[in-house]
Amino acid sequence: MHQDTVTIRTERGLTDITRQVGKIVQASSVKTGLCHVFIRHTSASLTIQENADPDVRTDLEAFLSRLVPDGDPLFRHVDEGPDDMPAHVKAALTSTSLTIPVTDGRLGLGTWQGLYVWEHRSRPHTRSILVTVQG
C-alpha cells in the first residue's frame, strides 16, 4: 500500500489532476490494484470527465451553477459569501472520493477520461487530495 497527497491551487471549475495522481500510482510500484482518491474539503469535489474538449467542462460548470445558483435566498449559511452554501450543495451532489483501477502500473482510465478537482467556490483555493494506492 502507498499513500501520498496532491496539493493544488484551484479556480472555479474543473482542474485536471490526472498527471499528478498518475505519478503517485507509478511511484507506488503497484501493477494491479486500486487507486482511491479523496478530497479533504466540503466545497469542492472530484469527477472523472472527458479530457479532450474543454467545452464539456465549461458546460458542466454552467449546468451545475444554474442548478444551484450562488446567492439563492433559500440558504441561511452564507458565512463566507453567497457562494458558500451552494458550494456545499454542489459537493454533496457530486463526489468527494473516487476509486480507479490500476492496470499495468497506471491509472486504468479510458482514452478520453481525465481526473478532475471541481472547485465550487468563486475565489481560488488550495485543495488537498489524499491518494491511496493498494494492490
Domain containing 31: what range? Answer: 2-127
Average pLDDT value for residue range 36-41: 98
**Predicted confidence (pLDDT) per residue in 63-93, tens digit:** 999 999 999 999 999 999 999 999 999 999 9
Mean pLDDT of the chain: 97
Confidence band, pLDDT 50/70/90 cuts, at residue 98 = very high
Residue 100 sits in a domain whose CATH number is: 2.60.120.460
Give a yes or no: residue 106 inside a domain: yes
**Predicted confidence (pLDDT) per residue in 120-132, tens digit:** 999 999 999 999 9
Contact 109, 22 (CB under 8 A): no
Pairing state between β 32-39 and 125-134: antiparallel
**Predicted confidence (pLDDT) per residue in 45-62, tens digit:** 999 999 999 999 999 999
Count up the domains in the chain and report the number: 1
Give a yes or no: residue 134 inside a domain: no
The whole-model pTM stands at: 0.95
Give a yes or no: residue 14 inside a domain: yes
H/E element, 56: helix 54-67
What distances in angstroms separate CA 40 from CA 37, 44, 104, 119, one per listed residue?
A: 10, 9, 28, 12
Give a yes or no: residue 135 inside a domain: no
Give a yes or no: residue 133 inside a domain: no
| Distance, CA of 46 to CA of 44 (rounded, Å) | 7
Give a yes or no: residue 54 inside a domain: yes
Which residue bears the cell 491511496?
Answer: 132
Give a yes or no: residue 57 inside a domain: yes
